[in-house]
Amino acid sequence: MIFSFETWQITVFSLSVGLASTLLILPFGVVLAWLFARKTWPLKSFVETVVLLPLVMPPVSTGLILLKIFGRRSPIGQWLYERGVEIVFNWKGVLIAMSVMSFPLLVRSVRTSFAEVNPRLEQIAATLGASPLKIFFVITIPLAYKGIVAGALLAFSRALGEFGATILLAGNIPGETQTLSLAVYNFVQIGKDSDAFVLLGITVALAFLFVWSSEWLLRSGNKA
Contact status: 101 vs other proteins (CB under 8 A)? no
CA 135 – CA 216 distance, rounded (Å): 27
Return d(Cα 154, Cα 152) in angstroms, integer: 5
Q: How far is the CB of 189 from other proteins (least distance, A)?
A: 51
Q: Are 113 and 146 in contact (CB under 8 A)?
A: yes
Tell me the C-alpha distance between 80 and 57, whole Å: 26
Question: Which backbone phi and psi does 129 adopt, to 5 degrees?
Answer: 95, 5
For other proteins, which residue of 23, 76, 121, 209 counts as binding (CB under 8 A)?
121
Interface region with other proteins, contact rule CB under 8 A, candidates 21-29, 129-137, 157-165, 203-211: 129-137
Q: How far is CA 108 from the centre of its chain?
A: 12
Does 194 participate in binding other proteins (rule CB under 8 A)? Answer: no
Q: Does 129 bind other proteins (CB under 8 A)?
A: yes
Q: Is 49 in the site for other proteins (CB under 8 A)?
A: no
* Comparison of 16 and 131: residue with beta carbon closer to other proteins: 131
Task: Give the one residue of 1, 2, 43, 128 binding other proteins; rule: CB under 8 A.
Answer: 128
Closest approach of other proteins to the CB of residue 144, in Å: 10
Binding mask 74-93 for other proteins (x = CB under 8 A): --------------------
Is residue 139 a contact residue for other proteins (CB under 8 A)?
yes
* Contacts of 145 by beta carbon, 8 Å cutoff, 6+ apart: none
For 117, phi then psi, to 5°, come to -75, 125
Rule CB under 8 A: say whether 175 interacts with other proteins.
Answer: no
Residues 6+ apart with CB under 8 A from 75: none
Closer to other proteins by Cβ: residue 120 or 219: 120
Q: Cα–Cα distance between 170 and 182 in angstroms, integer?
A: 11
Binding positions for other proteins, rule: CB under 8 A: 118, 120-121, 123-131, 139, 142-143, 223-224
